[in-house]
Amino acid sequence: MRKKCYESFSVTGVANGLIFVIAMTVVISALSSCGPARQPQQMEYQDSKEDLFSVSFPTQKNGWACGRWGTVLHTTDGGIKWVNQDSGTDCTLSSIFFKDPIHGWAVGNSGTIIHTSDGGNTWEKQKSPIPFRHMKVFFVTPLKGWIASERTHILATVDGGRTWQLQFADDDFILKSISFCDELNGWAVGEYGYIYRTQDGGTTWEKQAGYFGFSKNSGTVVGDPFLFDVAAIDPQTAWAVGIDGQVIRTINGGASWVKVNAGASMTPFFCVAANPEGAIAIGGNGTFLISTDKGVSWEKPVFDPPVDYGWIYGLTGRGGSQFAAVGWHGSIYLSEGDHSLNSWHRVNM
């Protein structure tokens, strides 16, 4: 039986002095009421314009994206043409990850975890040990993976998701993202700037940063800027991004995190990714930036059409030096050329 969810999602920001309010905090809200179940779809992606929140390319040609109302899309030609796959759920899917063209996972609201072992021709539900919203899924092998979730929960599996175990839990905040560079070393980030690091595959997690409290003078909540995404490069190097133009990097395993000036001080950044050639890409609310010199300088590539009045929420490498990005109203952007990242085009649906 198809799981039904009624959900809302908004990406809006309001700046007021030093207080930056993002109405979503990239929260994909799962409400108690239900909507009508959709019929299975195997159609060209041309009529659907659901917001997309995540994209994964295990090879240069094969890619998947996911989003609102259980949307799962698949391409076999590098992103030129996309088709809908029947995910079996109407819950918003916040993250999708394929380790190879066969094995993939997607996670989302109400503890939703789905898995495919045939490239998405069929998706099957996997049991979650917690009912909370799952924000990010990441695998290092077809068997070993993790999920970052609400209430600072981290789930882990060593059997491809046949069983998921609660590996870590801390304060009642939302972990937005998780990333590993190998089977041992990884980071998770979330609300109020919280950063957790593991060097043993998640057996232990160490808090490296983050602050939450209340102002004695005003009685209001105070804390570090929210972090929305993290990309682990190697055991010593990782990047993280968040609201208020927050772009930070560690080159010593997280012993210290240094703020990098990307030139967009009030822009919320939702996603970060690196390609094998070392380029760093970050996307957010009306902004997209590229650095090819490890963050020393940043360029704003040309997007056709522009993303100034939209948002990019999902980002991934796409084989070699290329990237793919997804976001508002079903938008899918691909970088162009063999090595240049200065030109991007939107896939025509």
Q: How many structural domains is the chain composed of?
A: 1
Question: For residues 77 and 64, what is the distance between their CA atoms, to the nearest angstrom?
Answer: 11
Task: Say what the pLDDT of residue 283 is.
Answer: 95
* Structural domain containing residue 193: 6-31+54-346
Which residue, 300, 316, 318, 299, is CA-closest to 308? 300
CA atoms within 13 A on the CB side of 55: 35
For residue 303, the cross-strand partners are 344
Q: Which two tokens stand for residue 333?
A: 């952007």
Model pLDDT for residues 30-53, shown as the tens digit of each residue = 333 233 344 444 445 454 589 999
The answer to whether 97 touches 76, Cβ cutoff 8 Å, is no
Task: Say what the pLDDT of residue 349 is.
Answer: 61
Task: Say what the pLDDT of residue 209 is.
Answer: 92
Question: For residues 158 and 139, what is the distance between their CA atoms, to the nearest angstrom?
Answer: 10
Residues of the chain with pLDDT under 50: 8-43, 45, 47
CA atoms within 13 A on the CB side of 144: 13
Hey, CA dihedral for 256, 262, 265, 270, is it positive or negative?
Answer: negative
Q: Which amino acid is at 273?
A: A
CATH of the domain at 90: 2.130.10.10
Report yes or no on 42 lying in a domain: no
Angle 125-171-4 from CA coordinates, rounded to 5°: 25
Report yes or no on 36 lying in a domain: no
Task: Say what the pLDDT of residue 36 is.
Answer: 39
CA dihedral 262, 186, 170, 94 (to 10 degrees): 70
Residue with tokens 């990239």: 26
Task: Say what the pLDDT of residue 276 is.
Answer: 73
For residue 346, the cross-strand partners are 333
Helix (H) or strand (E) holding 272: strand 269-274
Report yes or no on 41 lying in a domain: no
Task: Say what the pLDDT of residue 338 is.
Answer: 61
Report yes or no on 248 lying in a domain: yes
Phi-psi region of 331 (alpha: psi -120 to 50; beta: other; left: phi over 0): beta
